[in-house]
Amino acid sequence: MVNINILRGISRTTLLISLIIIIVVAAVGGYLLAMNILYKPTYKVSEVKVGIIQPLSGSMSTIGKYNLWGAQFAVEEINSRGGIKSLGGANITLVIGDSAGDPSTAAREAERLISVENVVAVIGAYASSNTKTVSDVCERLATPCLNGDSTSPDLTRRGLQWFFRTTADDDLFSKQHAEFLKYLNTTYPGSIKTVAILYEDSEWGSATAEAWKKYMTEAGFKIVESISFRSGTPTLDSEITRLKAANPDVLLVAGYLTDAILIQKTMKKLDFNPKAVLAQDAGYINPAYIEEVGPLGYYVFSREVFNWDLFEKVPGLKDVNDRFKAKYGIDMDGSIVRNYVAVWVLYYALEEAGKKASPTDLKTFRAVLRDSLRNIDIGRGVLPVPWDGVKFDETGQNIRAKGIIVQMMPDDGKYHTVWPPEYATRTPLFPMPKWSERSS
């Protein structure tokens, strides 16, 4: 044995423990480093990276999947048409982040996309609470954030400089709901006096209910009942019973997919017959809902930003939908088309930005892209949506966005546009027949 002087006085115990600890630390450190080496972002010059954050796991992932399809489809179309021409035909690459529907995870994904994947802009993130944290990160890290699918009015009231929203918000939609009810009253005078509100109690539902209360009261309708429920609840019997007792002329509903199906089932079961049901999209326009609900969903009105029958009114829409359906097997819906449109809006901004800067200088390019979004001016008929186009105000809200009202018709089980009149393909069926008078 070699006698090492330094080690004299230190027991073997201590020596061994230190050794083990060094090994453990080396292992943990090595493991963390290895994780990072495995995890390498790839950046090619011939591509422009755009981040998209959607809830791809957890309970909101049904809708997240469709939203992602919409964006991916738009990217494919843009790339197949020669990419971003001002950047020498560079392709757009979507980098996907999974928010799992959780605000902090969405924020972490935004930071990853911006600083690790070096995306030029971030699109997302469906749930308004997730969009809040994502836009906050984008603001901090000076990256444009384009939102196509969150409708909470709060989002554009926070003084953000890097946030843009293409869709209309719940405030505007609720206002349009009141206008639509007044429109129904002109055709059937005096038939609607009272409304009741049924809403899910998360941020989106509560905000919608608040806006409804405001605009319905302003429009002279009396709110006879307002009930909130937990999304995903297995039974709504008591809630519908209460609504039935209040006996409103119109039922206003804000609920997600599972809730929407349950509400329709329970309404039939308890024989609740308002003259009309007016929904705030979400669950009611989900392709899965339309597939599952069947005759139960007939006569229901919903707010929409898009509808398949608009191709008669909006140029180019039928083609887009046909191509989409050929690839994914379903018709586009409001969520899908809004993400599709968001990517196209970003594309137009990228074309402009590409004239002034190159994505190799990311910091400058992001700033230029922000300015391009600020100055963007897309007219009517360019995008396959019934809007007047895209133009952002100083809060980042698209002032040309609009909503439409659709109704599920009993003859083909599809939603048809019934309002505003310039886009309508059918006249609204009102009042809806009682459950007992329906054939199926």
Partner 1 sequence: MSSEIIFAQAIVDGLLMGSLYALIAIGLAMIWGIVEIINFAHGEFLMIASFLSYFLFIYLGIDPLISIPLAFLTTFGLGYLVQKGIINRILEAPFLTQIFATFALLLIIRNGFFVAFGPDIRSVTTWYSEATIDLYGIKMSIVKLFATTIVIIATILLHLFLTRTYLGTAMRALSQDKTAAQLMGIDIKKVYAIAFGLGAGLAGIGGALLTSFYYVFPEMGVPFTLIAFISVVLGGFGNILGPAIGAVIIGVLQSIGALIMTPSMKDILVYIVFLAILLIKPTGIFSR
Partner 2 sequence: MFKIENIKRDIDLMIILLTILLLLIMPLVYNNYFFLNALFLASLYMISSTAWNIMGGFTGLISFGHAAFFGIGAYTLALSYNNGLSPWIGIWLGGAIASLFALIISFPLLRLRGHWFALATIAVGEALKLFFNNWDYVGAARGVELARKEYSFAWIYFIESIYYNYVAVLILVISIFIMFLIIRGRIGYYLQSIRESEETTMTIGLNPFKYKMIAMVLSGFFTGVAGALYAIRYRYIDPFSVMDLFISVQICLIAIVGGVYSFAGPLLGALIVTPIAEYTRALIGGAYGARFFGLHLLIYGVILLILSLYAPGGLMDVLKRFLRGRYR
Pick between residue 291 and residue 377 the one whose CB is nearest to partner 1: 291
> Can residue 92 be called a binding residue for partner 2 (CB under 8 A)?
no
| Distance of alpha carbon 106 from alpha carbon 114, whole angstroms | 12
| Residue with Cβ nearer partner 2 (143 or 397) | 143
Hey, CA dihedral for 274, 278, 283, 288, is it positive or negative? positive
The CA-to-CA distance between both ends of the chain, in Å, stands at 94
Size of the site for partner 2 (CB under 8 A): 57
Residue whose CB is less far from partner 1, 205 or 389: 205
Q: Judged by CB, which is closer to partner 2: 104, or 247?
A: 104
Binding mask 25-64 for partner 1 (x = CB under 8 A): --------------------------------xxx-xx--
**If we measure between CA atoms, which residue out of 276, 234, 283, 233 comes closest to residue 254?**
283
| d(C-alpha 30, C-alpha 60), whole Å | 36
Measured CA to CA, the distance from residue 252 to residue 302 in angstroms comes to 9
- The minimum distance between CB 382 and partner 1, in angstroms, equals 33
Count of residues of this chain found to bind partner 1 when the rule CB under 8 A is applied:
35
Q: State which amino acid sits at residue 190.
A: G
Q: Is there a contact between 296 and 264 (Cβ–Cβ < 8 Å)?
A: yes
| Listed residue (399, 152, 426) closest to 309, CA to CA | 426
**Footprint of partner 1 on residues 196-215 (CB under 8 A)?**
201
Question: CB of 433: closest distance to partner 1 in angstroms?
Answer: 16
Which amino acid, one-letter code, is at 167? T
Of positions 26, 29, 161, 271, contacts partner 1 by CB under 8 A: 271
Looking only at residues 209 through 268 of this chain, which bind partner 1 when binding is defined by CB under 8 A?
227-230, 232-235, 237-239, 241-242, 244-245, 257-258, 261-262, 265, 268
**How many CB atoms lie under 10 A from the CB of residue 10?**
11
Q: Decide: is 42 part of the binding site for partner 2 (CB under 8 A).
A: no
What are the CA-CA distances from residue 413 to residues 39, 282, 410, 416 (Å)? 48, 18, 5, 9
In the complex with partner 2, which residue's Cβ is closer, 76 or 351? 76
Which residues ranging from 215 to 234 are in contact with partner 2 (CB under 8 A)? 228
Task: Give the one entry of partner 1, partner 2, none that residue 105 binds, where binding means its C-beta sits below a cut-off of 5 to 8 angstroms depending on kind.
Answer: partner 2
Largest interatomic CA distance in the chain: 106
Q: Is 20 in the site for partner 2 (CB under 8 A)?
A: yes
The binding track of 124-143 with respect to partner 2, each residue x by CB under 8 A or -, is -----x--xx--x--xxx--
- Among residues 148, 91, 146, 95, which one has the least CA distance to residue 359? 91
DSSP-derived pairing of the beta strands 276-279 and 250-254? parallel
Interface residue with partner 1, options 88, 294, 315, 316 (CB under 8 A)? 294
| 327 interacts with partner 1 by CB under 8 A | no
Q: Which residues contact 334 (CB under 8 A, 6 or more apart)?
A: 281, 285, 304, 305, 306
Residue 292 binding: pick among partner 1, partner 2, none (C-beta 5-8 Å cut-off by kind):
partner 1
Cα distance between residue 206 and residue 253, in whole Å: 11
Q: Exposed, middle or buried, 12 (CB in 10 Å: 0-12/13-18/19+)?
A: exposed
**Of 90, 93, 112, 299, which lies in the binding site for partner 2, with binding defined by CB under 8 A?**
112
Q: Which residues of this chain interact with partner 2, rule CB under 8 A?
A: 13-14, 16-17, 20-21, 24-25, 28-29, 32-33, 35-36, 38-39, 56-57, 61, 65, 68, 72, 95-98, 100, 102-105, 107-109, 111-112, 114-116, 129, 132-133, 136, 139-141, 152, 154, 158-159, 201-203, 205-207, 228
Q: Which residues of this chain interact with partner 1, rule CB under 8 A?
A: 57-59, 61-62, 65, 201, 227-230, 232-235, 237-239, 241-242, 244-245, 257-258, 261-262, 265, 268-271, 288, 292, 294, 296
